[in-house]
């Protein structure tokens, strides 16, 4: 981390920014000036405005939104192509993180932007001493980041989904991992 130039942040919720480079994508925490572009990315990536609206509702909820855990992947021309968000959830009564929405503009999909944003967000979470991340998503996609079925940890979603789609990532298995039902931030509406 911090191996590239610092990007100034104007967001009220940001405390710091990180910039890291891979061959194509610059990843950094969102700043206040990114809010409209992040909405655009989510509108472009999903069939409805549900995810774009969800991001804004999460950003407005101080119990859900954690500084430094909303990441964008930026193309060399400055376009924000990818987005990954971690927000506070609980497993039982124990704080954990929920990954999502994750979104990449259709024209930039399958070129590493999503992976870059997700890896950066997960790295930031680990550095903040978080230990558990849950995600509901494509069973072919998230295992590459270390996610495995949440049921293997006794972690359950508060709704019916195929077992393979509800996944969990534990950074340090030596630390206690809670089991129980996931309680998402209110904005998720579940
Ligand atoms: C899913 C998404 C975030 C992945 O980001 P991306 O930048 O396109 O993906 P990456 O380039 O990082 O990774 C490419 C890999 O992801 C896989 N992938 C991409 N979209 C996928 C999907 N919808 N289902 C399963 N796998 C998918 C590709 O098959 C590819 O696999 P490979 O490396 O084995 O060839 C992005 O495609 C997207 O926004 N999709 C639409 C919205 C969405 O479904 N969001 C996630 C909700 S769980």
Residues at CB less than 6 angstroms from ligand 1: 45-46, 82, 102-104, 109-115, 137-138, 140-141
Position 23 scores a pLDDT of: 62
pLDDT tens digits, 113-158:
999 999 999 999 999 999 999 999 999 999 999 999 999 999 999 9
Query: Phi then psi for 68, rounded to 5 degrees?
Result: 80, 10
Position 7 scores a pLDDT of: 38
- Residue 45 alpha carbon to ligand 1 centre in Å: 10
Residue 121 falls inside a structural domain: yes
Q: Measured from the CA of 135, which atom of ligand 1 is nearest? A: 48
Residue 140 falls inside a structural domain: yes
- What CATH number is attached to the domain comprising 178? 3.40.630.30
State which residues form the domain around 166: 17-188
- Residue 114 alpha carbon to ligand 1 centre in Å: 7
Count of C-beta atoms within a 10 Å radius of residue 186: 12
Residue 156 falls inside a structural domain: yes
Domain total of the chain: 1
Position 21 scores a pLDDT of: 55
**C-alpha span between 182 and 124 (Å, rounded):** 22
**C-alpha span between 187 and 59 (Å, rounded):** 10
Using most ligand atoms within 8 A of CB, pick from 114, 121, 147, 166 the residue to mutate for ligand 1. 114
Residue 95 falls inside a structural domain: yes
Low-confidence ranges of the chain (pLDDT < 50): 1-17
This prediction has a pTM of 0.90
Residue 3 falls inside a structural domain: no
């Amino acid at each position: 981390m911090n191996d590239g130039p610092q990007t100034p942040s104007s967001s009220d919720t940001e405390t710091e920014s990180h910039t890291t480079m891979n061959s194509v994508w610059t990843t950094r925490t969102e700043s206040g000036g990114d809010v409209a572009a992040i909405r655009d990315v989510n509108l472009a990536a999903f069939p409805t405005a549900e995810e774009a609206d969800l991001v804004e509702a999460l950003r407005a909820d101080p119990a859900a939104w954690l500084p430094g855990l909303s990441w964008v992947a930026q193309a060399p021309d400055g376009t924000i192509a990818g987005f990954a968000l971690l927000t506070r959830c609980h497993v039982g009564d124990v704080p954990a993180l929920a990954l999502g929405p994750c979104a990449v503009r259709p024209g930039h999909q399958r070129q590493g932007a999503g992976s870059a944003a997700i890896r950066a967000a997960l790295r930031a979470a680990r550095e903040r001493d978080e230990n558990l991340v849950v995600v509901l998503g494509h069973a072919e996609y998230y295992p590459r980041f270390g996610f495995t079925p949440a049921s293997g940890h006794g972690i359950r979603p508060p709704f019916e989904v195929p077992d393979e789609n509800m996944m969990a990532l534990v950074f340090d298995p030596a630390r206690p991992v809670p089991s129980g039902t996931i309680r998402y931030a209110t904005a998720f509406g579940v």
